[in-house]
Amino acid sequence: MTQHRSELLMPAGNLRKLKIAILYGADAVYLGTPDMSLRTKSEFSLEDVIEGVNFCHQHGKRAYLTLNLFSHNKDIPKLEEYIETVRKVKPDGLIIADPGVFQFVRERAPELPLHISTQSNVSSWLSVKFWEQQGAELVVLAREVSFGELTEIREQCPDIKLEAFVHGAMCMTYSGRCLLSNFMSERGANQGNCANSCRWNYKFRMRLKDGTVQELKITDENFDMFEFLLEEGCRPGELMPIEEDSRGSYILNSKDLCIMPKLDEYLRIGVDSLKVEGRGKSEYYCAVVARAYRMAIDDYYDDPASWNPLPYMRELESVGNRGYTLAFHEGRLTNHAHNYEHTAAIAQWEYAGVVSGVTDDALLVDVKNKLDAGEVLEFISPLTREPVLLRLYDFEVAKNGERKDVIHGGSRTTIRIPFTLFDHEDPSDIRARFPEFSVMRKERALSEEQWARIRLDKLTQGLEVSGKDNPKAYTKRRDALVDSIGEGAGDRRFKTNRVGVEGCCGKGCNGCMMFWEDPQYARAREVLQKRKQGEQLTRAEAAELKIPAE
């Protein structure tokens, strides 16, 4: 009997992202043109859609087209052309929200499988059965569905495919139906053009009796005199505090959804499609998130009893995020699902470059962020699990052979990295493991404020996953973040021992002349050669082995 396997469904905001998502492990992608889906910033033309669908099919993968617009009269003439064009490439599903569009496609292209969009707000098995009776093949459940509800829906509706969101940005409104963005900046949230008004910082103001409006300034002298509370009409006496720092208040700032700590539960009950949000996210996001979930899903099916989410969470932490939350998994949200003090998406790593070509003797890499001589670059393969680390002491510009100590990200520079620089790898192996669209990353230096945010995020994530509370630890980490915000940005530092052409970071990378050639690192080399690529010596080991501190 063939084991039922959940598919990994990744977003594709353009053709390059589609190819990267497929190469890094997606079973399927979803994509659409800007005028016929809810993403006005989508970079797909109809021609791109056709090429994308064909690319997926050539790789044995699936492509779902987003046709989830809420149709106005002006949209109807376009539907005919769209359907007649896309049916020729036989997409594996059309994602639809509007009942009129659903009926239109059923009548004109009955051979196309129809999927019900999350915009239809399906939150019960009753609604799933309705769409099943209308002829839908798959239903995308609303983000607000808890895991308990999802389990019951699976039991009540065994004959229709179910799709659930497992990763990506969360919206403060119901299934993304937001009016804030439209009201504040005339940008339609439901067209993928959201201004993220819910994440803006808001400040208190006083309106005096004469009609003038003034800022309420909180100082060290009057700080203890005020406390600001919200009271909802139906909950008299239940007072909810509003806190504001020097930059404002983030009372509507949701963290990002990440079901990875509970992914085994979704796989166990047989959710057919595991959906990642982010058609507007970067190529690096598409690669790393697809890779992390691909490894997690495969490892679960190989050995469910030993499955552990921690290694995959470490991978997801290398992607910019606002802190991770299980969101509605347990039902009602907790305060740990929101960031009240800080709104930015941050990560300990950043997108360094992408392989744009492979010659007989070198990789050609398009630089995406600033590279400094001596930095350790991590190549993430779409074909194998282990990354390859490389330390470069300068950079060769591909078009003219010029050598530079610094490459700036906005310069659109392509660098040439000869296979011979990988002094612990077989050139043919490097060529095979890193085809076009392979991504490269490097560590990012963060301010103390950002490190404090990361520490608070990791604590609250652990509390949320465990279902336990620790007010003392939470208060300590939160206050540390508030204090660091008050102190300003300050110096930035890296998580690991720092690089540079003058010292060793203790990772034992390819091309590290000091580590591999200097006798003082002999004992350290013996230790690292027994470990995985790039696994760094601990500070205690470095001290014992007498590696100079950076």
Residue 128, pLDDT score: 98
Which pLDDT score, from 0 to 100, does residue 248 have?
Answer: 46
Q: Which domains occur in the chain, in start order?
A: 7-174+254-337 (3.20.20.70), 349-443+496-544 (2.40.30.10), 446-493 (no CATH)
Digit-coded pLDDT (tens) for 168-227: 988 766 566 565 555 555 555 555 566 565 655 555 555 555 666 666 666 667 666 666
Task: Please give the pLDDT value at position 494.
Answer: 84
**What local confidence, expressed as pLDDT, does residue 252 receive?**
67
Looking at residue 517, its pLDDT comes to 85
In the prediction, which pLDDT does 550 show?
A: 46
pLDDT at position 495 is 80
Closest CA to 64 of 122, 103, 22, 125: 22
Positions in the chain short of pLDDT 70: 1-3, 35-42, 172-220, 222-252, 489, 498-499, 545-550
- Can you give the pLDDT at residue 54? 95
Percent of the chain as helix, strand, coil, to the nearest 5: 35, 20, 45
Between CA 515 and CA 504 the distance in angstroms is: 6
Instruction: Count the neighbouring beta carbons within 10 Å of the beta carbon of residue 528.
Output: 22
| Closest-CA residue to 114 (of 129, 142, 135) | 135
- What is the DSSP pairing of strand 414-418 with strand 371-372? unpaired
pLDDT at 336: 81
Which burial class, exposed, middle or buried, applies to 276 when counting CB atoms under 10 A from its CB (0-12, 13-18, 19+)?
buried
328, 384, 386, 387, 407 from 534: Cα distances, Å: 36, 15, 9, 8, 23
Model confidence, pTM? 0.86
Evaluate whether 252 touches 178 at the Cβ level (below 8 Å).
Answer: no
Looking at the DSSP assignment, which residues form a beta bridge with residue 162? 139
Confidence at residue 1, expressed as pLDDT on a 0 to 100 scale:
39
In the prediction, which pLDDT does 500 show? 72
Over residues 281-307, the pLDDT tens digits come to 999 999 999 999 999 999 999 999 999
Q: What is the pLDDT of residue 519?
A: 87
